[in-house]
């Protein structure tokens, strides 16, 4: 049985990964339950991932501690911030970790423009603490969660891993690129095998409530206005959560079976959906029309994302299977069962 450490393991992507890994492996989750959104959402994520319930009473740290102390097979939760080097090192001291899946980060393009120094501290310094722990405790396998945002307004489509990523248009994107560069330093100096995974607009059950698909669904369902930025022509390569998890698991299998690995991989669907089309799909699935509050484009938002996934297909056998309309139906089904817990 392998021991995997998942940073950000109580989040949207992290909890789905934990749910898969604990079937066969021991999983250590590190999450600081940041106030970016309601901590109880992350507890619900972990309950769904582990199959273990815990009453949420409304006292943040008491609720988290109550869950962390539960005896859950193959699962251990640490409430820790990746910026806190001593806490991270202590976790590595306590466990013989086989590989790290580093998902933890401050997310969001627009908030990063308002708080660039905080994003730098968490996404860059925090990642450095993880890399230092890998070095010091001789852990040789790492998956690093990057983002399609590193491509900026790339003129060439679809975006390939060999394309330049020198023109970030948000602090968030810049911190993700910085993490990739620092990862290579540790691969080169300390022979740590790494796969850098650039995620393209992930959606599905447990999606963060501030993200567009979840936010639009909630507002339409409740008859409230949607903040609709631009003319609807911006487009994204939306990637369903099951396909992302498939990609992570295949990447983990690849990195464990190979030595001297350092690669960057796009994980997307290779399908582009316009904002107007995304809205129409949610409306059709809900059977309700949206009320739009038209607003100008926001600084930091890219015009389009589109993943070239040929490298991921060839290297790790990545094969996304969920078309957008099916993914939206699955998300709406989940939302209508769980929306009491998930508010934007």
Active site residues: 172
Quickly tell me which residue has 């994302």 as its tokens.
305
Residue 179's Cβ-count burial label (10 Å; 0-12, 13-18, 19+) is: buried
Cα 29 to Cα 31: distance, rounded to the nearest angstrom: 6
Give the pair of three-digit tokens for residue 12: 């949207």
Which 3 state secondary structure label does DSSP give 206? coil
Q: Is the peptide bond before 56 cis (omega within 30 degrees of 0)?
A: no
Of 201, 142, 147, the C-alpha closest to 169 is 147
Which 3 state secondary structure label does DSSP give 320? coil
Per the document, the length of the chain is 344
The helix/strand count (H/E) of the chain reads as 13, 13
Give the pair of three-digit tokens for residue 42: 């992350």
Alpha helix segments (H runs only) across the chain: 12-21, 39-50, 60-68, 85-94, 109-114, 116-120, 126-136, 171-190, 212-221, 241-257, 275-286, 310-316, 324-338
Quickly tell me which residue has 């901590």 as its tokens.
39
CA 335 to chain centre: 19
Helix (H) or strand (E) holding 163: none
Cα 120 to Cα 100: distance, rounded to the nearest angstrom: 21
Name the DSSP letter for residue 304.
B
């Amino acid at each position: 049985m392998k021991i995997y450490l998942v940073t950000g393991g109580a989040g949207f992507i992290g909890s789905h990964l934990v749910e898969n890994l604990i079937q066969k492996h021991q999983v250590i989750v590190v999450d600081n339950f940041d106030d970016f959104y309601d901590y109880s959402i992350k507890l619900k994520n972990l309950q769904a991932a582990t199959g273990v319930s815990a009453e949420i009473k409304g006292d943040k740290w008491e609720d988290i501690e109550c869950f962390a102390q539960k005896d859950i097979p193959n699962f251990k939760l640490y409430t820790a911030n990746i910026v806190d080097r001593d806490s991270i090192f202590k976790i590595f001291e306590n466990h013989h970790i086989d590989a790290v899946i580093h998902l933890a980060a401050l997310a969001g393009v627009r908030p990063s423009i308002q708080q660039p120094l905080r994003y730098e501290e968490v996404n860059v310094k925090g990642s450095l603490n993880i890399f230092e722990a890998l070095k010091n405790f001789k852990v040789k396998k790492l998956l690093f969660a990057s983002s399609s945002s590193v491509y900026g307004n790339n003129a060439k489509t679809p975006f390939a891993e060999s394309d330049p990523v020198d023109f970030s248009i948000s602090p968030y994107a810049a911190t993700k690129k910085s993490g990739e560069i620092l990862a290579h330093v540790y691969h080169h100096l300390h022979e740590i095998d790494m796969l850098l995974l650039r995620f393209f607009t992930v959606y599905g059950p447990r999606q963060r409530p501030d993200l567009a698909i979840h936010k639009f669904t909630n507002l339409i369902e409740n008859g409230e206005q949607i903040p609709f930025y631009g003319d609807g022509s911006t487009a994204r390569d939306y990637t369903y959560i099951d396909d992302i998890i498939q990609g992570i698991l295949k990447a983990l299998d690849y990195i464990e079976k190979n030595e001297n690995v350092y690669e960057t991989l796009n994980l997307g669907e290779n399908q582009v959906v316009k904002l107007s089309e995304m809205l129409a799909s949610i409306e059709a699935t809900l059977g309700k029309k949206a009320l739009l509050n038209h607003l100008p484009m926001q600084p930091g938002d890219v015009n389009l994302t589109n993943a070239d996934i040929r490298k991921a297909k060839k290297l790790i056998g990545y094969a996304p299977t969920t078309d957008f309309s099916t993914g939206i139906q699955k998300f709406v089904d989940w939302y209508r069962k769980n929306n009491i817990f998930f508010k934007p």
